[in-house]
Structure 1
Amino acid sequence: MTQDRIQTIGHSRIKYGPLSDRVYLMRLGDGQAPLVIDAMQSLARAEGYTKLIAKIPDKSAAAFTDAGFEMEARIPDFYADGDAALFMSRFRSEDRRGPSDAERIRKVLEAALRRADAGIKRPLPDDCELTLMNPDHALPMANLYGRVFESYPFPIFDPAYIRRTMEENFRYFGIFRNASLIALASAERSESGVEMTDFATASAYRRASLAAHLLAAMEADARQNGVKTAFTIARAVSYGINIMFARCGYTFAGTLVNNTNISGRVQSMNIWYKPLASSNGTVSDNPSGNSSRHSP
């Protein structure tokens, strides 16, 4: 599988490639908007990519608007200075602009919003252990991701990649049952926020609310490390993942249309966010009620 490439421009970081047919600005350096916009547009023209997307502070929005970008999602009070994070996109194809599954996306969002703040449905089973993962777990982690996802925008099927991200800004949490890894997720720290991502649950355990327990553990860990905002980029057609974030107190921020190649095709993605400055959310820091199950 062809993986995306990373390009660094000063303090900015761009990810691009044919897998998701896009150029993605993941981090914008101060004062670099004009230079980065030119680089993104040049890449898109040269390779024929049909979408450009940028995650930027609100203070930089004017330069992107002038270049034809439109806001698709907004997370308030994301950066250390209190500025919002915007997801702004420019479509180079009308076919890319409109999702073919718009009706399902609408129904999923409605179902999720009806369950807002309902909390975790089930306690963590007594025979399960939730723990912070370490490099020795990389092989079973990669194997679980390989069983769950047909395609993914990052090489999570490679144990070496997982170990490398652990050394950088990722913290992975997993749930074991009888020494077998059955659920997994990661928290990626960026700026003053953290992205809750890479959720995977073995098919036999999809209705056990394991992802919600992983999310609560990652939130508690992020709070302890001074992170003020959590967010996620979730498949817009997935009832389970969107309902889970709504139940756990996250707010819908917008939809990134035809954005990411995941599970075998380019899909639209929903943004959800949650302030972590206080611990008054609907999900407790210790959802299982047993401190021995959470080993951060």
Structure 2
Amino acid sequence: MLNSITARNDKGCYRYFKGVRLFMDYVNLRVKILEYEEISEDILKDIIEMARGESLGKIISNVNIKAMKTFISSGFQIEGMIYGFFKGEDALCVSYFLDSKRAASAEKDKEDAIIQRCMESKSSFKLKDMEDITMRDALRGDIFHMTELFKAVFETYPSPVFDEEYIKSNLNKTALYKVACIDGRVVAAASADMDKDNLNAEITDCATYPQYRGRGILSNLIYYLEQDLKERNFYCAYSLSRAINPGINMALCKHGYKYTGRMLNNCDICGSFEDMNIWSKTL
């Protein structure tokens, strides 16, 4: 795998550049193009040069069909899509690779084999009754235990889930968090990162202590997150899952998510840049 490096001490920041809202993601050495009223090849060229000057290796964006031609003409590649991302309109996941090493997958054969097994599987999700496990909304009192879980499961992570203040600022505001507890101890967690403007949500931050894996705990947590999103009239849910991890990919497939692409060397997780599979579902 491509080794990750730290570009600088700061983790990232939002920036407006020529009318375009960006997230400068220094942890993952990339730029996210988030919002714009208009986009042109000239503006994209300037964003590319700006990112190059900051030694960032990738630029990503979720774009609608109307904007796609401009991005493709500027050298972006389509890596996948998300159903219903823009209030029911599909989004294309496009990327520009400034670092050529990030455009090549080191684990393609293994990752393709995992997807093949998912596609061949006939099993579907069934809610399991787990008498010894309590599943509920996360509370402020859970935050420390959630960060300890994330630290135990992930060597590195694309977003600052090791930081209690980060989770506290998002809890039940921009993100829904669910936890699974045994005898009052948090043993698993998952979240739905909500885009309330476009009514989509990313299923993310999925973690279970190793000794509790294989019981379907995360699958149940995903189910409960989806129920909350449906009550809020969200159009879709999607997830970017570690392409090399069979468990989470199979769990999403069983829930009816469709494999819609793969983002190469997309983020720094578990100590290196990894490919992330895109799974998408209309709610």
TM-score under structure 2 normalisation? Answer: 0.90
Deviations 1:40-60 (A, max 9, x none): 313321122222111222221
Name the structure 1 match of 2:21. 12
Name the structure 2 match of 1:188. 193
Secondary structure of 1:218's aligned partner: helix
Structure 2: distance between partners of 1:40 and 1:139 = 38
| Post-superposition offset of 1:226 | 0.6
Secondary structure of 1:84's aligned partner: strand
Cα distance change on mapping 1:193 and 1:117 into 2, 3 Å: farther
Name the structure 2 match of 1:282. none
Name the structure 2 match of 1:262. 269
Amino acid at match of 2:117: A
For residues 31-50 of structure 1, what are the structure 2 equivalents within 5 Å? Answer: 31-32=38-39, 37-38=44-45, 40-50=47-57
For residues 102-251 of structure 1, what are the structure 2 equivalents within 5 Å? Answer: 102-115=108-121, 118-120=124-126, 123-166=128-171, 168-190=173-195, 191-251=198-258
Secondary structure of 1:273's aligned partner: strand
Secondary structure of 1:155's aligned partner: coil
Structure 1: distance between partners of 2:188 and 2:10 = 24
Name the structure 1 match of 2:3. none
Amino acid at match of 1:104: K
Structure 2: distance between partners of 1:203 and 1:231 = 24
Checking the alignment, whether the CA contact within 8 Å between 2:63 and 2:91 is kept in structure 1 is: yes
Checking the alignment, whether the CA contact within 8 Å between 1:69 and 1:88 is kept in structure 2 is: yes
| Post-superposition offset of 1:134 | 2.1
Give aligned pairs, total.
Answer: 272
| Post-superposition offset of 1:92 | 2.1
Structure 1: distance between partners of 2:42 and 2:14 = 13
- Name which of 89, 99, 102 aligns with 1:93: 99
Structure 1: gaps (5+ residues): 277-296
Secondary structure of 1:112's aligned partner: helix
Matched, 1:21 2:9: no
TM-score under structure 1 normalisation? Answer: 0.86
Amino acid at match of 1:195: E
Structure 2: gaps (5+ residues): 1-5
Checking the alignment, whether the CA contact within 8 Å between 1:116 and 1:249 is kept in structure 2 is: no
Deviations 1:146-200 (A, max 9, x none): 1111000111001111001126310100000000000001101112211000000
**Which has the higher mean CA deviation after the structures are superposed, 37-46 or 51-60?**
37-46
Amino acid at match of 2:114: V
Matched, 1:77 2:77: no
